[in-house]
Structure 1
Amino acid sequence: MLELININSFPVFLLILVRVLAFFVIMPLFSYRTIPLPFKIGISFFLAFIMIYTVDTSTIAFDGLYIFLLVKEILVGLLIGLIAFIIVSAIQVAGGFIDFQMGFAIANVMDPQTGAQSPITGQFLYIVSLLFLLSVDGHHLIIDGIFNSYQFIPLESFIPFGDKSIADFVIYSFNMMFLIAFQISIPIVGCLFLVDIALGIIARTVPQLNVFVVGLPLKILISFLAIIVFLGLYIHLARRLFDAMFEVMQGLMQLFGGG
């Protein structure tokens, strides 16, 4: 009982709480506006309370370096959540590619989760991806990721920001995000490209037919049919997307830890 109220463990508890809070500020699924702020603070508090007994606390004390450790913990939580958010943003990018070909590029909707404008198709695919993430207990894996971050980045260590490999890894993550977005959108975009070719041939062979009137509803119909047909493939790509997200999070934590 005395250990539970030991005031000497408060500096460590504060460092853990700051990292978890910063992680939940930007991490997909936990950072959305629809999740109440008291819930975010409460779950961060109890997670930090659980984690404090699994972290080495022998070398942390209030001194001149403590404020730098506090800033480091904020950066660690934000950057790990940001790199995961960048990978998941591939769904929105893919939706933008699809909407541009469908003619829905001017019909963006407001995303209630982030407060930003989002493509219609991208929003639909994003909701399906989040439901898939919840169905496979991906939210537990996200919490497990922030828990395992203390194995890679101890509380008393600092981030080697001068390491060139960190910048290279972030650039690699951006490339991976666009590659996954291209893979998600290419089946539907490819179908619409073939529809454009067919409409071009019809416009040259049958000039009396107004392809601009026929083309837009035809492309929308073909897009909906293609989405239904390729939905199974999209679930496979969504699984690969989340696998890549967890791999990128672990890779970034290893680089932050000097590994």
Structure 2
Amino acid sequence: MLDMINISAIPIFLLIFVRVAAFFVTLPLFSYRTIPTHFKIGFSFFLAFIMFYTIDSPSIVFDEMFLLLLIKEIIIGLLIGLLAYIILSAVQIAGGFIDFQMGFAIANVIDPQTGAQSPLIGQYFYIIALLFLLSVDGHHLLIDGIFYSYNFIPIDAFIPFQNESIVDYIIKTFNTMFLIAFQIAIPIVGCLFLVDVALGIIARTVPQLNVFVVGLPLKIFVSFVVILFFLSLYVVLAKNLFEWMFQSIRSLMQLFGGA
């Protein structure tokens, strides 16, 4: 039995398995608590087993450098998945902007997938975005991303941490995520701002009318109507968000590879 197992290939397989497993720890859709842990480990194992026979890798032995390579693989997998999660969080941030204007900011719900509190409209947009991601086979593209990451970051190469462009790129991506969130929320937030202006004018012209009683249901009604009309625009923005997410992951891997 031992003759059938290539002992020298075990370190390479462990490095591949660690990168894939770390990638699924932070990747959207695959990292959720609703997916069983043993399924994540098994899927990572068999995916790493397939990738082991398709990746050109040098001979690696268990020495003092192997621990550093192991830490490097964990960092790469976590950061690539975390970047995708940060970009996709723009949808929930946009929902937070909308909820604050609608008056739903106090009524957050617990997201069963992540265990964190999320805004109502943000959770609604987030579910639509995930369904859109699955409908266009975006989860396959994410798996392709970790597969082709070895073309940019070889298994025996180290990350150039002294490269300041990596930190600058992550900060720029984080700023762009807030800009996209604002673009998603601006139609509804802009309409609610006009409603607030109208209520302010009514409060000055008709002092007998209690705008606090009328304003809240009116803003909720206007918000749902505007969301219904701008839902097609949101799908287009979600499509652009996913394209930018895949492009950002590719650019980050190029920076990790020293390109």
TM-score (norm 1): 0.97
> Structure 1: how far apart are the matches of 2:141 and 2:6?
31
Aligned with 1:107: secondary structure?
coil
Equivalent residues in 2 for 1:1-259, closer than 5 Å = 5-259=5-259
Conservation of the 8 A alpha-carbon contact between 1:32 and 1:114: yes
Query: What is the root-mean-square deviation of aligned Cα atoms in Å?
Result: 1.4
> Structure 1: how far apart are the matches of 2:100 and 2:77?
35
Conservation of the 8 A alpha-carbon contact between 1:9 and 1:57: no
Distance change in 2, residues 1:25/1:135 (3 Å): same
Q: What is the percent sequence identity of the aligned residues?
A: 71
Residue by residue over 1:98-141, the C-alpha shift from the partner in whole angstroms, topping out at 9 and shown as x without a partner, is: 00000000000001011110000000000000000000001100
Aligned with 1:54: secondary structure?
coil
Residue by residue over 1:204-254, the C-alpha shift from the partner in whole angstroms, topping out at 9 and shown as x without a partner, is: 111111111000000000000111100000000001111111111111100
Aligned-residue offset at 1:27: 0.5
TM-score (norm 2): 0.97
Q: Give the counterpart letter for 2:152 in structure 1.
A: F
Ranges in structure 2 where 5+ consecutive residues have no aligned partner: none
Aligned with 2:64: secondary structure?
coil
> Structure 2: how far apart are the matches of 1:246 and 1:191?
32
> Structure 2: how far apart are the matches of 1:189 and 1:135?
28
Q: Give the counterpart letter for 1:236 in structure 2.
A: V
Residue by residue over 1:134-188, the C-alpha shift from the partner in whole angstroms, topping out at 9 and shown as x without a partner, is: 0000110010000010000000000011101001101110111001100100000
> Structure 1: how far apart are the matches of 2:203 and 2:4?
78
Aligned-residue offset at 1:63: 1.8
> Structure 1: how far apart are the matches of 2:36 and 2:5?
28
Aligned with 2:104: secondary structure?
coil
Aligned-residue offset at 1:62: 1.7
> Structure 1: how far apart are the matches of 2:205 and 2:58?
81
Aligned-residue offset at 1:58: 2.4
Aligned with 1:65: secondary structure?
helix
Aligned-residue offset at 1:57: 2.3
Q: Which moved more, 1:18-27 or 1:59-68?
A: 59-68
Aligned-residue offset at 1:4: 7.3
> Structure 2: how far apart are the matches of 1:59 and 1:166?
29
> Structure 2: how far apart are the matches of 1:79 and 1:91?
20
> Structure 2: how far apart are the matches of 1:3 and 1:29?
40
Conservation of the 8 A alpha-carbon contact between 1:95 and 1:123: yes
Q: Give the counterpart letter for 1:191 in structure 2.
A: C
